[in-house]
Structures are given as C-alpha cells and as structure tokens.
Amino acid sequence: MSIVNENFLRLDGRYLFQEIEKRVRAHTQSSPQARIIRMGIGDVTCPLVPCVISAMHRAVDDLSHADTFRGYGPERGYLWLREAIAQQDYASRGVVVSPNEIYVSDGAKSDTGNITDLFSPTAVVGIPDPVYPVYVDTNVMSGRTVIGLPSDEANDFVPLPPDDRRLDIVYLCYPNNPTGAVITREALTRWVDYALRTGTIILYDSAYEAFIRDAALPHSIFEIEGARHCAIEFRSFSKTAGFTGVRCAYTVIPHELHVTASNGASVRLSSLWERRQGCKFNGASYVSQRAAEAVCSPEGRAAVQAQTDHYLSTARMIRERLQQMGLRPCGGLHSPYVWAHTPEGMDSWTFFDLMLREAGVVVTPGEGFGACGRGRFRLSAFADADDAREAMDCMERVIKN
C-alpha cells in the first residue's frame, strides 16, 4: 500500500519556475561567460522605497529593546496593519471591509494555495487557462477535478461563466497573470451573479491591482454588489511595493461568506480559515508588517505609485517592441506582464530555449501556464529598464534571423 499522497505524482516533475531555473542554470554552466537578462519570473528589481526602509529600521529597533520587543504576533496580523489596509485599500475606494475580515500572511502564493485546505476534495474547480500555475497545482495535490476555462484574444482573456455545468469554486485573477488582461466591471458582475445563483465560491486574486490605470476598472471584487456573499480576495505587497523578498500579503474573507456542510449546517468560511491559520501559521513577521503599514501611509502610496508607473513604462516599451517584431502582444497596459505569440507558432519551450541560448533572454513559456499558452510566451516588465531594452534588441536580432 502506498503511503504517499499520490496526487503529487499527477503533477509535472517541477514547478514552472523551478524548471526555468534549472534550464537557466544548465545554460550558465555550459556558457559561463554568457550574459543573461531575466524577464521570466515576475520578480521586482527596484529597491524598497525610503519610508518602508525607515519603518523596517524602526521595527528592528523595537525588537532590540526589552520594552518594545515582540514575540509571536496575532496569526491574523496586527490590528494597526489591518486597520491601515481596510482604510487605504478599501474605504478610500468606497468599499467596506472590516479589519476583522482581513488576514495578513507571508504571501498570496501561500494563501491561494493554502485556501484549498478549506474545500472538499470532491469540489469541482474552474480555473481559467492560461493561469498562474499555483491554482492548478495545489488543487491537483488535493486530488480535485480541475475544469479548464479557455481564455484567449477572442474573449479578451476573460472566460464566461459556464452554462452547462456547476463549479463549486472558480479562480479569477485580474489584472491577469500571465496575460496582463483586465476585467471590466460588467464581466466581473456576470461572474458574481453566476456565483450567487449557483453557490460557487470565487477566489479572486488581485495581487496586481496597483497597476490599474483606468478608473473604470475594478480593483477589488468587493466593488461588485453581492460579492461579499460569494468571494474571497487575495492581495499582496510583493508586486505593489517590491516585497518579493520582504514577504507580506493578505486575504479578505467577508463575514457573510458561508458554505453548506453535508449535514445541512451553514458554515462561515472565515471561521474555518481562522482555525486553519491558528493551527498551521504563526503570522507574518513584525518587521514585514511594519513595512506593509508604511506602504499604506500617504508617503508610501505615492512612492509605490511612482514605482509601479516605472514598471508600467517598461511594460509599454516591451509591448511596442514586440508589436514591431510582429509577435501580436497584449497586456502590459495595466499589468507588468506582456503576453505574446511565438514566431510562426513555434512551440513555447522551443522558443524559451532559443531565446535563452541565442538572445540571452529568459522568457516564460506560455505552455507553463496551461494548454492555451501553447505558442505563446510571457515577458515580465519587472526587469531593469535598460536591461529590458537590451533584451528587446537581442530578441529582435534572433527573431529576424
């Protein structure tokens, strides 16, 4: 009898970004002099903004003195941070979220993966394709059936709710990773209405909302009427404020959100999450939470806006250059990601290897995000702007040849 969770055997051998790293390492070992420009994983390159750095220094000072020292914090996050988030990220946009509905964590990657603990292994999960691979992998690990919801240029990368089958859970991520697409208020309302009608839970990942520059687009699913009864929202400071190395994020679970157990009892989802986190998590670090609090200050918000503007200008440049190369790009306007076609429909891993070997540029192969990513690739605009320009020159040279 097997004692391992055999669902893991259904996964690809490596997580997408581990496979990319393995190929990059093999290339640098065989060509140690080769220059590599990384535009694969969405990892930030700008340093932390000054008010965040000061807040972190102050937090370290707090930890250095007996009278201000902190040990374990509350596993759902310090109240001062949850209040700042409720005010700055929600109330300032007219959205009511209570600090008691906010759960601070060390990352949206962990939260979007860990939330699967709350649901039955028999739950049917709808996941757009292409998609951030964490959603699929973590559900496969739990043995769930995953239904792919194809998305492409024809539906503006926003799949319609299915009319032929019920989904228990659906993941939506906008601005989208990997395509950089956005969702309109109307399209999001269609999903909320569907979820309310069918009892579906929407897991809404808005980790990239800080890149939205069109006032008509929703930043939060809770801007949509009824969403408090059917949605959980995930947010992160990683891409907003350059926290990929600092680690701080949060999840919002409204008090109204209930599911029905098999005995007919109504269960509040937030109480299950509290139970889970109380057992498996000891909270984000005090220093990270003070840093996140600084991001919510007026000075922090202005600095973060300047930083996201900077990445967006790189994204626009990438988009324009790919357009000139005839690769039909999209995204990059309200997102740090640009999604494009490989030349002449080349297989996306073949294109990845070609770009690595001949152009010295790391892209992310579209197929790593799902079957609908075949013949596509993603570029991340988090690279240094000069490096990104050089990468475009190198790619163009190889593609022309």
Is the backbone peptide bond immediately before 218 cis, with ω within 30 degrees of 0? Answer: no
Residue 38 or 319: the one with the smaller Cβ distance to ligand MLT is 38
**Binding of ligand MLT by 41 (CB under 6 A):** yes
Q: Please report the DSSP string for 305-372 in residue order.
A: HHHHHHHHHHHHHHHHHHHHTT---EE-SSSSEEEEEPGGG--HHHHHHHIIIII-EE-EEGGGG-GG
Residue 48 or 381: the one with the smaller Cβ distance to ligand MLT is 381
Q: From residue 141 to residue 180, what is the string marking binding to ligand MLT with x (rule CB under 6 A)? A: ------------------------------------x---
Residue 107 or 161: the one with the smaller Cβ distance to ligand MLT is 107
Q: Which one of residues 23, 37, 39, 42 is an interface residue with ligand MLT (CB under 6 A)?
A: 42
* Cβ neighbours around 317 below 10 Å, total: 17
**Binding of ligand MLT by 270 (CB under 6 A):** no
Stretch that binds ligand MLT, among 18-26, 40-48, 163-171, 389-397 (CB under 6 A): 40-48
Q: For residues 342 and 376, is the Cβ–Cβ distance under 8 A? A: yes
**Binding of ligand MLT by 208 (CB under 6 A):** no
Closest separation in Å from C-beta 217 to ligand MLT: 20
Residues 80-139 that bind ligand MLT (CB under 6 A): 109, 132
Closest to 144 measured CA to CA, from 171, 162, 109: 171
* C-alpha–C-alpha distance, residues 140 and 271, integer Å: 25
Stretch that binds ligand MLT, among 37-45, 63-71, 262-270, 386-394 (CB under 6 A): 37-45
Give residue 356's Cα distance to chain centre.
Answer: 25
Closest separation in Å from C-beta 132 to ligand MLT: 6
The residues, ordered by sequence, that sit 6+ positions from 340 with a Cβ below 8 Å of its Cβ are 322, 327, 328, 329, 330, 376, 377, 378, 379
Closest separation in Å from C-beta 369 to ligand MLT: 8
* Cβ neighbours around 327 below 10 Å, total: 22
Site residues (CB under 6 A) for ligand MLT?
41-43, 109, 132, 177
